[in-house]
Amino acid sequence: MSRPGPDRVSIPVPTWEEPVTGSGTERTAQADRSHRPDSGQVQRQGAWRAGAMVDDQRGVRCDRQATEWDQEKYGGSVAEDLRPRTWGISGRGACSERTPRRESRMRTVRNALQLPDMRRIELGYGLSITGELAGTVALVVYAVGAGGAALVAAYAASRTLAGMGVALVLTGITGRLGRDRLLRWITGVRTILLAAAALLAASGQSPAAVIAAGAASSALAGTYRPLQAAVLPWLVRTPAELAASNAVTAVMENSGALIGPLLAGGLLAVAAPAAAMAAAAGCLAAATVSLLRLTIPDTPELAGRGAAHMVRDVTGGLAGFVRMVPPGGIAILAFAQTLLRGALVVLIAVLAVHVLALGGSAVGWLTAAFGAGGLAGGAVAAGAVRFTRLGRSFIAGMLLWGVPLAFLALRPAAALAYLALVVVGIGNAFVDVSVFTLVTRLAGPRTQGKVLAALEFTALAGLATGSILTPLLLHTVGVRGTLALLGGGLAVLALAHAARFRRLDRALPAPGPETGLLQNLPMFSPLPLARTELLEAEIEPRQFRAGAVVIREGEAGHEFHLIVEGSAAVSARGAPLALLQRGDCFGEIALLRDTPRIATVTAEQPLRTLALGRKEFLTAVTGNSMSKAAADALVAQRLSAHPPDSGDGSDRA
């Protein structure tokens, strides 16, 4: 989505005689001179011509998509942009040539990060991952010293099995509690549990108690990402911004995956594991603080009361996730990839301590190599993962996960181990960006919370399986055999699904032309992507023959209309006011002011509109402060050009 900036060129608002130029083509402000009004009618016409004015054939777009929303988010005077123009046309104040199809992806990333709530949730995630990974390294090293590989596997399995239960509960409650509160509460509880583990370890308590507290904290860590992924569509406005936001999330995740192990490794080199656990708890505390001012809009997921409804939400979320890319393509690959990741927790410890003989601190350095690759991969994914290539990016990430580990099995040397983990980290970034964007888009705004929780449950099931299976594989086929079996198996599985995901890219739902018309109206342009998609589902097409009355002056208002094709004449008390065309809207005054219609709109030629009912229109527009301001400005502008007749004693303003 384009934003106002130094490369945007404002074109003065035209008069009736002045042509509007765009993409090298001139066009007059009014093609049909038979409808040309007198000078007294120009101001009234301008007030009513508040539509988007999109000319797809000529490649000209009058772009106000970001005006009010950007003013709120980026600073400046909203009133300045909402003030009616001198000539009266609010829809032609800032025109520009259509942006190229290959819009700068880095600009999209920067735009997404200018949202305060986006920065808060991303910073919180980065700190959360830093604390989680630092704590994991400290707990793994503690477990190796206190009980060997068996205690490491017990820690990994217990935290993952508990996390699966948490994910199921999250599937049932995600539509019932505010996600901002959930994020704050859960992150705060994680802080307390990890701090308790550090205190228990420092005081020489039972290793079982230390591992139990650490595993409980880690079990809650998996709630952050699905909650965040369900929130992002309510903060961004386009699929491109959604993909860019997930790329930012991948960068934050892998930054934490780099910094956390480095922090733990540095502390483990000079202090006991308890000190590293305490530092990790401090990172989680900082994440909690970053979320204190996070405000997430209420989402319209339907949630009934009682245990039966919660069970229905859980089963519905799991079923919806399994149905994606039938037969269960996303679920199968997500399970296989997280199984390998669960195995990697044990394999890194065994490689560092027993195979490569690098010492306990090398667990942190090897994990940091994974994070460094992920950090680089997140930056690459921000430019490489496109909305139209999500499926193929997902498969590419799977191959980058499996192939390096299969090669490492050929010769498990220290240099190759670091290099393999860097490449695996790059693949992990591609998987994260593509799968969370893909699942969010396929699920839709009403069910994405439940489906994303089901994705987390599947991932945790894979982690648990990998953690439990790895000691058995190590005992049976050794380190090299385990790496070859798991890494090579994932690569083969990804190749088997490649054609299916390539077809998915071609069939992935994309915003329709109605979305462009809606977003070119100032009252709809500030709305987030999820709300726009809901509006698309609620819009009803209407058709009117030439001469038909669409709305009549004095009648009650029930619908808002956006013209898709044709033209319509506006009149009041028998006097003509304006000629509305494609991209123009009408019907909002009666809905916003709860008054009878102040004008009659008649189809001049066969007319096709998109209609929104009163409830749907008011929910969308009045639920967003910038949309409400833009709608009120349009109403005030139209009423100033055509004051309601107060002679009958009614007050329609």
Q: Are 377 and 423 in contact (CB under 8 A)?
A: no
**Which residue, among 22, 24, 11, 33, has the nearest Cα to 91 in the 3D structure?**
11
Q: pTM of the predicted model, to two decimals?
A: 0.62
Instruction: Calculate helix-pair angle for 361-384, 105-113, nearest 10 degrees.
Output: 110
Whole-angstrom distance, CA of residue 448 vs CA of residue 232? 11
Q: What is the DSSP string of 42-92?
A: HHHHHHH--S--EETTTTEEE--TTHHHHHHHH-S-HHHHHSPPSSS-SSS
Q: Which residue matches tokens 């898709």?
A: 564
What strands lie across the sheet with 607-613, from one edge to the other?
540-544, 607-613, 559-565, 585-586
Which domains are present in the chain?
Answer: 19-91+522-641 (2.60.120.10), 106-294+307-507 (1.20.1250.20)
Helices 224-231, 179-202: inter-axial angle, 10-degree rounding = 160
Strand-pairing partners, residue 613, are 559
C-alpha angle with apex 435: 429 to 439, nearest 5 degrees? 155
C-alpha span between 251 and 191 (Å, rounded): 23
3-state secondary structure (DSSP) of residue 563: strand
Q: What is the C-alpha to C-alpha distance for residues 636 and 31, in angstroms, rounded to an integer? A: 28
Output the 3-class SS for 237-301: CCHHHHHHHHHHHHHHHHHHHHHHHHHHHHHHHHCCHHHHHHHHHHHHHHHHHHCCCCCCCCCCC
Q: For the beta carbon of residue 487, count every other beta carbon within 10 angstroms.
A: 24
Instruction: Provide φ and ψ at 19, rounded to 5°.
Output: -80, 155
| Cα separation, 454 vs 439, whole angstroms | 10
**Under 8 Å between Cβ of 609 and 21:** no
Helices (H) and strands (E) in the chain, counts: 22, 13
The DSSP 8-state label assigned to residue 234 in this structure reads G
Element of type H or E holding 626: helix 625-641
pLDDT of the residue at 67: 35
Whole-number Å distance between alpha carbons of 30 and 579: 9
Please state the φ and ψ torsions of residue 580, each to the nearest 5 degrees: -95, 145
CB 342 within 8 A of CB 470: yes
Q: 3-state secondary structure string, 85-138?
A: CCCCCCCCCCEEECCCCCCCHHHHHHHHHCCHHHHHHHHHHHHHHHHHHHHHHH
The dihedral built from the CA positions of residue 352, 357, 358 and 359, taken in this order, carries a sign that is positive
8 A C-beta contact, residue 592 and residue 631 = yes
Are 605 and 636 in contact by the 8 Å Cβ rule? The answer is: no
SS3 category, 36: coil
Strands 19-22 and 25-28 turn out to be antiparallel
Residue 565, beta-bridge partner list: 608
Q: Tokens standing for 123?
A: 């910073």
Q: What are phi and psi of 67, to 5 degrees?
A: -55, -65
**Separation of alpha carbons 488 and 407, rounded Å:** 9
Closest CA to 132 of 263, 268, 232: 263
Contact, 468 vs 269, CB < 8 A?
no
DSSP 8-state assignment for residue 561: E
Q: Which residues of the chain have pLDDT under 70?
A: 1-112, 171-177, 297-314, 316-317, 325-326, 328, 360-361, 382-388, 444-446, 448, 508-515, 530, 623, 642-653
